[in-house]
Amino acid sequence: MAPKKDKVLMAMSGGIDSTMAAMLLLEQGYELVGVTFRTYDSIKESCLAKDKGCCSIDSIMEAKHMCEKLGFEHHILDFRQTFQDHVIRNFIDEYMQGRTPNPCVLCNSSIKWGELLNMADEFGCSHIATGHYAQVIHEKGHWFLGNAVDTQKDQTYFLWMLTEENLARTLFPLGGFTKQEVRKMALERGFEKLSQKTESQEICFIPDNDYRQFLSDNVDDFDKISKPGDFVNTRGEVVGRHHGFPNYTVGQRKGLGVAFGTPKYVLGIDAAKNSVILGDRDELFTTTLRAKNCRFTSMELLARNNKVLARIRYKSAPIEATVEVNGSVATLTFKESVWGVTPGQSVVLYQNNRVVGGGFIA
């Protein structure tokens, strides 16, 4: 951790986690500069009607108010164009190629750490801090992303793209606490309303959680691209008609629009052929996967020991695997079968409760 009295750029969302992180740093003697960034402005009536902090203007005002109450300056940073170029564009491109992206991973690396570290330099801050549930470990010359104490809230899955340079300048004040402890600390400090605040689980730029409508609203000629096509089985035989491949994701069972007598699942998507592959649930089990655009904290560690715990989605239990690396491509072989490996999602690799690498499932 940085020495006390260092100046820290504190990312404020207006929620309980960033607010409690700020309070803990202030109590430890840090000087804070609060920042909240605009990434996307929703104009959905459904969003305006909800009190979940999903709308950027609401969250900005809440963050500004909290910074004033805690006694440190607050700045609003406009990252909407960068967010559009890096996060939303990727989200759209991935879905239109038949993959299922996780925009939070790119947002963390390109916005929350990429842009915020640049702003930290401008404000004369040595570190940035966020309310994420994770830890930073400095050991034998390397900076690692470590698991949070609260395994139910651990957010390292979304942070695997952070580099050692990023981590060397990062503080995670909540990494050593459970969510229940954080709520209790907020209550003890007189923030009763904040301690009871609920969290939104939605993607920030899709407040109604309807990614299909979002694609329809934001993809040119979406109706022409997302046109009816064939459901096929693993033998390539046509078994029905679908409503356009972007409307489906791997592992999906409900909403297929056809009845087969027994439950069928989406096994894969061929965007080029506008076909969706269906099969039985057991056909979604596999013992291998390939990941691309991988990053590794230390190739020395993996060279000495290629056994890892791998997580293929947020909240999924880590599974033992061996990893073989070829440049930025990794091939994983699992000790036991895993279900629902989804192209476009991240696979994150752990050893000794720390992230040693990750990549995008290909």
What amino acid positions are annotated as catalytic residues? 107, 204
From CA 155, how far away is CA 175, in angstroms rounded? 9
Q: Is residue 33 packed enough to be buried (19+ CB in 10 Å), middle (13-18) or exposed (0-12)?
A: buried
Nearest to 8 by CA among 32, 26, 42, 28: 32
Which tokens in the block code for residue 179?
A: 């969510």
From CA 254, how far away is CA 247, in angstroms rounded? 12
Rg (CA), the chain: 22
